[in-house]
Amino acid sequence: MTYSTESLERATVEAMQRFSKRYIISFIVLSAFVVAGIVAYINQLQNGLYETGMRDRITWGLYIVMFVFFIGASMGGTFVSAALRLADMGWRAPISRGAEYITVSALFTASLFIFADMGHPERAINILLFGRWESPLVWDVYGLNTYIAGSMVYLYLAVLPDLALVRDRVGHQLDPIRRLFVIMFSASWTGHPKQVKALDTSLKVMTVVIVPVAVMMHTVTSWIFGMTLREPWDSPMFGIYFVVGAVYSGVGLIVVFMYVMRRMNHMEAFLTERHFLNMGKLLAGAGGVMIFFQISDLVTAGFKLKGDSAFNLYQLADGAMAPIFWTYIWVGLMIPLALMLLPWTRTIWGVLIASVLANVGMMLERYFIVIGGLRLPLNPYHAPSYMPTLTELTIVLGLCSLFILILMIMMKLAPAISVQEMIETGEIEAVQHDARRAASTDGPEGAVA
């Protein structure tokens, strides 16, 4: 196999054009789930939030859990694409486009979970018209809109040269909708030195801007919880805790996307084991910090057992939240870290399994933070219970399916690997080195693989 710029361009463009049987079936199944979610949401609108498991004491449920989860997923995309660009990490090149896709898709999905949680979604405009600046909810709304707008601008700037590549190579072969899209959004890009210089400057500016915006967004989201008087949420650590947790789950989600894209688009030559192992290091680093924060939080609260924190610790250690909490600790934190520390599990499969477990764990963590915090009795009555209904589960399934559908559509609108970044960072030569090293290690079979 050749590892030239020409072969990369051909591989990415062909992958964009290819509609395999597996892709079509997946698209149809996911679309059916989205339709089912829409039907369930219409039923919820007609009958009210009584269709859900939420009541007067558990006022936030699975919708807010998933909102926080997808906001976290977007942070991982920003971190891998923009933060690693600032650090001049060349190996990010074949990963950055997928990370940018995940950021935009996750933010769009997260915003829809807010509407799913509202009994009267048409009143959302009231936050903009009559919202009080003292409320973290208002900060979150403006932060989310700023983050979405900035991420879309950043994605467009990054994808512009590749859209022009598709326009020039196979624009006439595309269907009318995609041909119109490519012609419109590739604008008049020709690769002229003045255009390249202007684009490079714009990308540097947006890179510097989008990273603090992302950190701000996740910090503000944590303040929705941390600035209440509920004991489990009343912690100044929540800001950094949410940011690190977002990087942890987001990096894991990008690894899963990398693996699927690698297999589906036959990109084994350009997404090598080195890229997965580097992502595994990021995953292990974020997971280690998460473990430190978790120990610090539990030890300081458990040493004092002050006020309502005792109730929260008991429900996590040996109460209603215990199965979820201990699954999060072992499955979501300890096992992924062990997989990355042990030499014989530091493989593509090891990183993939660790990433899947990390996302399962972080979803559970969001669940016991939201639901566990609301279970704390504010008056002398028994702690309430919460169980998602079929309506909630169907809407969540529909929105998660929409998240994947958006990614699948994006992959067919523009190359899933940034050709421009691969050239600029010298990553094409790096994957050539990976291939030679694999050939020398595994012999002829390794070279073919």
Alpha-carbon span 341 to 259, nearest angstrom? 20
Cβ pair 151, 107 in contact under 8 A: yes
pLDDT band for position 136 (cuts 50, 70, 90): confident
Read off the pLDDT of each residue in 261-274 and give the average, rounded to a whole number: 86
DSSP string, 236-298: TTHHHHHHHHHHHHHHHHHHHHHHHHHHHTT-TTTS-HHHHHHHHHHHHHHHHHHHHHHHHHH
Read off the pLDDT of each residue in 172-183 and give the average, rounded to a whole number: 87
Tens digits of residue pLDDT in 287-337:
999 999 989 888 888 888 877 788 888 889 888 899 999 999 999 999 999
Averaging pLDDT over each range in 225-239, 339-353, 410-424, which range is the top one? 339-353
Fill in the amino acid letter for 69.
F
State residue 69's pLDDT score: 93
Helix and strand tally (H, E) in the chain?
Answer: 19, 0
Q: What is the pTM of this model?
A: 0.92
Please tell me whether residue 411 adopts helix, strand or coil conformation. helix
pLDDT higher than 80, residue 449: no
The token pair that represents 440 in the structure block: 């020398």
Tens digits of residue pLDDT in 15-41:
888 888 999 999 999 999 999 999 999
The token pair that represents 87 in the structure block: 């650090």
- The whole-chain average pLDDT of the chain stands at 88
Tens digits of residue pLDDT in 178-216:
889 999 998 888 888 999 899 999 998 999 999 899 888
Q: Which of 179, 175, 178, 184 is nearest to 156 (CA)?
A: 184
State residue 442's pLDDT score: 60
pLDDT higher than 70, residue 443: no
The token pair that represents 131 in the structure block: 């919202």
DSSP string, 169-203: HHGGGS-HHHHHHHHHHTTT----HHHHHHHHHHH
State residue 448's pLDDT score: 35
Alpha-carbon span 58 to 138, nearest angstrom? 21
- Give the Cα-Cα-Cα angle 139, 402, 17 (nearest 5 degrees): 120
State residue 205's pLDDT score: 92
Look up residue 150 and give its DSSP letter.
H
pLDDT band for position 218 (cuts 50, 70, 90): confident
Q: Which of 58, 68, 67 is nearest to 388 (CA)?
A: 58
Please tell me whether residue 230 adopts helix, strand or coil conformation. coil
Angle between helices 62-78 and 136-170 (to 10 degrees): 50
Tens digits of residue pLDDT in 78-91:
888 888 888 888 88
Tens digits of residue pLDDT in 368-425:
999 988 988 877 778 888 999 999 999 999 999 999 999 999 999 888 888 888 888 8
Lookup result for tokens 């964009």: 16
State residue 3's pLDDT score: 58
Domains of the chain plus CATH, in order, are 5-448 (1.20.1630.10)
Q: How many beta carbons lie within 10 A of that of residue 63, not counting itself? A: 23
Query: For the chain, what is the largest distance between any 2 Cα atoms, rounded to a whole number of angstroms?
Result: 72
State residue 12's pLDDT score: 82
Radius of gyration over every alpha carbon of the chain, rounded to an integer in angstroms: 23
Read off the pLDDT of each residue in 335-363 and give the average, rounded to a whole number: 94
Cα dihedral sign for 324, 327, 328, 329? positive
pLDDT band for position 107 (cuts 50, 70, 90): very high
Cβ pair 408, 26 in contact under 8 A: yes
